[in-house]
């Protein structure tokens, strides 16, 4: 039987109280962490494999997207064009997705990984803008919110809940004496 708990908090200056089932929250956070981790891991590994292809014509690079797929009217076109000239962008993109995904799957350094994963998603969101603020921040499939914002918010939630403690390595890491003596490390874990 699921244990029912009550959460009392303040959001935007308003007191909020609700009941939740511990059992189902644990399952949902675990599954959200695994699914989001797999999504990022798969995206990163796919880029890594094509980047390392023996045939240079097949090698993945972010430059093609940054130079040719940024929507017309994007207010940051110049910044993305400059980023296309930086080889470090490919490395950060491939390894960032891969390692963030792996960390989420394993439940290791979830807060740290979720933070940087959300930053990546915000960059992807910025790259998908069709116009500026005065144009209503249009995207290909609506205004303001697209899958990148959903992913960024989901990653924020996983970090806020410390989802790495639920069947993840963070639960073990936090019990280590070194971590117990270094309180700042607990902000990276969870």
Distance between CA atoms of 51 and 53, rounded to whole angstroms? 6
Distance between CA atoms of 172 and 104, rounded to whole angstroms? 15
Per-residue model confidence (pLDDT) at position 11: 85
Per-residue model confidence (pLDDT) at position 134: 54
Distance between CA atoms of 43 and 60, rounded to whole angstroms? 12
Q: Is the pLDDT of residue 54 over 90?
A: no
Mean pLDDT of the chain, nearest integer: 85
Of all residues in the chain, what percent carry a pLDDT higher than 70?
Answer: 89
Q: pLDDT digit string (tens) for 141-188?
A: 667 778 889 999 999 999 999 999 999 988 888 888 887 888 787 777
Q: CB count, 10 Å around CB of 152?
A: 20
Specify the range with the lowest mean pLDDT, choosing from 18-22, 31-35, 71-75, 135-139: 135-139
Q: pLDDT digit string (tens) for 62-102?
A: 888 888 888 877 888 889 999 999 989 988 999 999 999 99
Per-residue model confidence (pLDDT) at position 116: 95
Q: Quick one: average pLDDT of 47-71?
A: 81
Which class for 54: exposed (0-12), middle (13-18), buried (19 or more C-beta within 10 A)? exposed
Per-residue model confidence (pLDDT) at position 122: 92
Distance between CA atoms of 62 and 39, rounded to whole angstroms? 18
Size of the chain, expressed as the number of residues it contains: 190
């Amino acid at each position: 039987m699921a244990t029912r708990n009550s959460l009392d908090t303040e959001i935007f200056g308003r007191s909020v109280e609700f009941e939740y089932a511990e059992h189902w929250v644990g399952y949902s956070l675990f599954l959200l962490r695994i699914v989001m981790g797999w999504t990022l891991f798969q995206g990163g590994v796919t880029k890594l494999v094509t980047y390392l292809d023996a045939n240079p014509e097949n090698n993945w690079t972010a430059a093609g997207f940054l130079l040719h797929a940024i929507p017309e009217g994007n207010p940051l076109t110049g910044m993305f064009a400059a980023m296309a000239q930086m080889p470090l962008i490919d490395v950060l993109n491939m390894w960032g997705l891969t390692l963030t995904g792996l960390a989420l799957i394993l439940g290791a350094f979830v807060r740290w990984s979720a933070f940087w994963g959300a930053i990546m998603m915000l960059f992807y969101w910025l790259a998908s803008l069709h116009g500026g603020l005065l144009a209503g921040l249009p995207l290909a499939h609506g205004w303001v919110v697209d899958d990148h914002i959903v992913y960024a918010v989901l990653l924020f939630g996983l970090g806020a809940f410390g989802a790495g403690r639920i069947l993840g390595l963070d639960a073990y890491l936090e019990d280590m004496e070194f971590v117990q003596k270094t309180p700042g490390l607990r902000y990276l874990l969870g």
